[in-house]
Amino acid sequence: DISHNVILYLDDITVSFDGFKALNRLSLAIDAGELRCIIGPNGAGKTTMMDVITGKTRPDKGSAFFGQTIDLTRLSEPEIAHAGIGRKFQKPTIFEQHSAFENLELAMKTDKRVRRSLVATLDDADRDRIAGTLRLIRLDQDADRPAGLLSHGQKQWLEIGMLLMQEPKLLLLDEPVAGMTDDETMRTAELFVSLAGTHSLVVVEHDMAFVEKLGGRVTVLHEGSVLAEGDLAAVQNDQRVIEVYLGR
Ligand code: ADP
């Protein structure tokens, strides 16, 4: 029985590659509106976990539910995206020759949930939605510049904006602040905190200053399972966590 507030529920997931268990009986529950950080040393299974959630990798054992009823292990990657799970990889895949505005416009027009033409003109509601997203990702001043001219951090925000145009309920973010300046990192934390509540976020991250600024619950993965869970201070003081990080 899954608590009604849980948006993502992984139960006893095992994923093996040639006999090696990348995930080993992993169980995890994310509440609706939660901002969860996933940390852990290289090889802990963080990427594999994200791959299971998005349908890229099928678990050998265990179950994965989105909300109360959607069995992720039975859906294809496009079906999972369609159901409301958006994933951002490290490398942005924006259209560099197009402006930030046009990138968001394209993201909106290629939303699989709505059939619309790429050449259809935008109505006022569409323009308002794009403008609202540009403000949220702090690109309203740079809306008309070719995206290729934006800073690394701004490109990352633009890609987050493109994801948001498709209105995901759950956002999966893989090292979103890698390569960002300290200022961009802190602004990204503010963005994520503002998205939490209306969205659920799962953030894989190594930057502890960023994780601290996000302020949510932290899950430590190690050897494919959950080693510790709690607020950052609690997991950082956990003896098993200290041993894993020092023993690397
Ligand atoms: P993390 O993202 O925490 O660094 P990964 O999920 O990428 O960890 O990897 C967990 C373990 O599974 C690693 O030891 C990795 O080498 C192994 N692994 C991941 N994907 C594959 C694959 N496709 N084939 C074989 N081994 C893999």
Spatial CA neighbour of 100 closest among 43, 63, 153, 170: 153
| Average pLDDT of the residues in 21-41 | 97
Q: Of all protein residues, whose CA lies closest to atom 13 belonging to ligand 1?
A: 43
Pocket test for ligand 1, best of 48, 87, 174 (most atoms within 8 A of CB): 48
Range with the poorest average pLDDT among 178-182, 192-196, 244-248: 244-248
What pLDDT, on a 0 to 100 scale, did the predictor assign at position 110? 85
Is 57 a pocket residue for ligand 1 (Cβ < 6 Å)? Answer: no
Is 43 a pocket residue for ligand 1 (Cβ < 6 Å)? Answer: yes
Residue 122 DSSP class = P
What pLDDT, on a 0 to 100 scale, did the predictor assign at position 116? 77
pLDDT over 80 (residue 2): no
**What is the rounded distance in angstroms from the CA atom of residue 49 to the CA atom of residue 85?**
14
User: Within 10 Å of residue 43's Cβ, how many Cβ atoms?
Assistant: 15
Is 46 a pocket residue for ligand 1 (Cβ < 6 Å)? Answer: yes
Residue 112 banded pLDDT, cuts 50, 70, 90: confident
When the pLDDT of each residue in the chain is averaged and rounded to a whole number, the result is 94
What pLDDT, on a 0 to 100 scale, did the predictor assign at position 248? 54
Is 48 a pocket residue for ligand 1 (Cβ < 6 Å)? Answer: yes
What pLDDT, on a 0 to 100 scale, did the predictor assign at position 118? 78
The Å distance, Cα 126 to ligand 1 centre, comes to 41
**What is the rounded distance in angstroms from the CA atom of residue 232 to the CA atom of residue 120?**
47
Tell me the percentage of the chain whose pLDDT exceeds 70. Answer: 98
Residue 1 banded pLDDT, cuts 50, 70, 90: low
What pLDDT, on a 0 to 100 scale, did the predictor assign at position 3? 66
ipTM: 0.96
Structure tokens given for 57: 């990798």
Cα dist from 64 to 57, 127, 150, 198, 223, whole Å = 12, 37, 38, 22, 19
Residue 174 banded pLDDT, cuts 50, 70, 90: very high
What pLDDT, on a 0 to 100 scale, did the predictor assign at position 140? 95
pLDDT tens, 43-65?
Answer: 999 999 999 999 999 999 999 99
The Å distance, Cα 222 to ligand 1 centre, comes to 12
| Ligand 1 nearest atom to the CA of residue 23, by list position | 10
The Å distance, Cα 19 to ligand 1 centre, comes to 12
Range with the poorest average pLDDT among 2-6, 121-125, 214-218: 2-6
Taking the alpha carbons of 190, 205, 153, 118 in that order, is the dihedral positive or negative?
A: negative
Is 59 a pocket residue for ligand 1 (Cβ < 6 Å)? Answer: no
Residue 185 banded pLDDT, cuts 50, 70, 90: very high
Is 19 a pocket residue for ligand 1 (Cβ < 6 Å)? Answer: no
The Å distance, Cα 48 to ligand 1 centre, comes to 6
Is 40 a pocket residue for ligand 1 (Cβ < 6 Å)? Answer: yes
Is 22 a pocket residue for ligand 1 (Cβ < 6 Å)? Answer: yes
Cα dist from 45 to 49, 51, 98, 222, whole Å = 6, 10, 36, 7
| Ligand 1 nearest atom to the CA of residue 18, by list position | 25
